[in-house]
Homo-oligomer: A and B are copies of this chain.
Amino acid sequence: MGSATATATATATGAVDKGVDFANYFCTYGFLYHQKEMLCDRVRMDAYFNAIFENKHDFEGKTVLDVGTGSGILAIWCAQAGARKVYAVEATKMAVHASQLVHANKLQDVVQVIEGSMEDITLPEKVDVIISEWMGYFLLRESMLDSVICARNRWLKPNGVMYPSHARMWMAPIRSGLVDQKMSDYEGAMDDWYSFINETKSYYGVDMSVLTRSFTEEQRKYYMQTSIWNNLHPNQIIGTPTIIMEMDCLTTTVDDIRTVRASISSSITEENARFCGFAGWFDVHFRGSSKNPAQSEIELTTAPSYDSGTHWGQQVFLLYPSLNVQQGDDLVIQFSMSRSKDNHRLMEVDLSCEIRQSSSGELLSPFRNNFLH
C-alpha cells in the first residue's frame, strides 16, 4: 500500500513527492491559491472587466446573479458598475472570503453572498443579468455550465442578458514535439514493465506476463489517449482553425452540451509540415442579447497567442503516428465529445481524420483515436 497516494504526481512529472489526497485537499476551489491563479490571468480578468465597465447600461440600477462567484471579484465589479443588487452564489467555503472582500470594499448593501449550490438556493427576485466565469478546459470540462443553465432557467427575467452571451469551441491541426515525448514515455514504461516481468519471475517465481496486454492498454490510455494541457505557439498551428460548436448562452440546454458532435474540415496552410494531432480551445463573447445588444462587444479567446496565454491554455489531442502533410491537403474530421461515465467532470473524445492529398487527390486511410479529456 501507499503507492497510489504516492504516485499521483509521479506519473505526471517523474517525481514522487505528494499524495493524491493532498492534491485533492489543496486543490479545490475552496483555496485562495487557486482563486489567485485565476485572478492573475490577465486575459480573463481584462475581458470581464471591460465587458462590465464598457457596458454599464446593463448594470446601472439592475439586479445581477453571479454564478460561482469564487473570491467575489465579478460581483464586486458589477456593484461598482452601478448594480442595484448582486446575488453572488458560491458552493465552496470560498463564500466566506467573498463575503469578507465585499465588506472590505464596503459593498455589503449591494452584494449578497450566498453559500450554496445554484440548484438548491432560492433568490428573492428574478435578475436582469447573469454573469459567470464557468468555462473549463476546452470549454466544457468540469460541466459547470449546467449550473449556469439551471440559474438562467430559474432566475433570469425574460429580457435578461447573459455574461458571456456566446461561446465557441475551436480546433486546428498542429505540429508538436509532445508526440515524440509521449511515445518515448510510453516506450520507457513498457521497457520497465518487461524488466519487471522478468524479475518477478526469476526472483519470486510468479509469471505476470498475462497482465501485459492490460498494462499496455492502460499505459497507451495514459500517455497517448489523454488530452494534454499545453500553451501552444501560434506557429505550431499548421492548418485552418475550425469552429466545432457555437453556443448562445441564452438558449443552450443541458442536452445540447451533453454530447458535442461535429463533421468539419481544415486545410493545411504550411509547406511540408509534420501533422501530429489537433489542438482544441474556446472563445466567449459578451454581446448582450438581440433585444439588448452590447455597447461594446468584448471577446475572451484562449487561442494560441504570441504574447498573452491564459491559464486555460489549449488541449492537445495527439494522433499516432505523425504524418508529413503538404500545403493544400484537406483534412476531414469527425469529432465527438461526451461526458465520461466514470467521472462526470471529465469528457471522452473520439476523433478521426481523413487526409485528401492536394497533389494526387488521393485519400489517405484515416487516423482515429479516442481520448480522456
Binding site for B on A (CB under 8 A): 1-13, 15-29, 31-40, 45, 49, 68, 71, 73, 76-77, 80, 97, 100-101, 103-105, 133-137, 141-142, 144, 189, 192-193, 196, 200, 203-211, 214-215, 218-219, 222, 226, 228-229, 311-312, 342-343, 345-346, 372
Contact = CB atoms under 8 A, between A and B. Distances in A.
22 contacts: A1-B134, A2-B38, A3-B311, A4-B27, A5-B27, A6-B311, A7-B33, A9-B23, A17-B229, A19-B141, A21-B343, A22-B372, A26-B222, A32-B211, A33-B189, A39-B200, A80-B205, A97-B211, A97-B214, A103-B210, A104-B207, A104-B209
Contacts of A71: 208, 211
B36 A196 contact: yes
A222 B13 contact: no
A339 to B, nearest CB: 12
A342 B24 CA distance: 11
Given A12-B17, A24-B343, A25-B343, A196 B39 contact: yes
A229 B18 contact: yes
B196 A5 contact: no
Copies of this chain held together in the complex: 2
Given A9-B13, A45-B204, A105-B207, A214 B32 contact: yes
A101 B13 contact: no
Contacts of A1: 38, 68, 133-136, 142, 144
Contacts of A101: 206, 208, 210-211
A10 to B, nearest CB: 8
Given A49-B204, A193-B36, A229 B97 contact: no
A215 B193 CA distance: 43
A7 B37 contact: yes
Nearest to A25: B343
A312 B17 contact: no
Nearest to A206: B76
Contacts of A26: 11, 222
A11 B32 contact: no
Contacts of A312: 2
A13 B11 contact: no
Contacts of A22: 12, 226, 346, 372
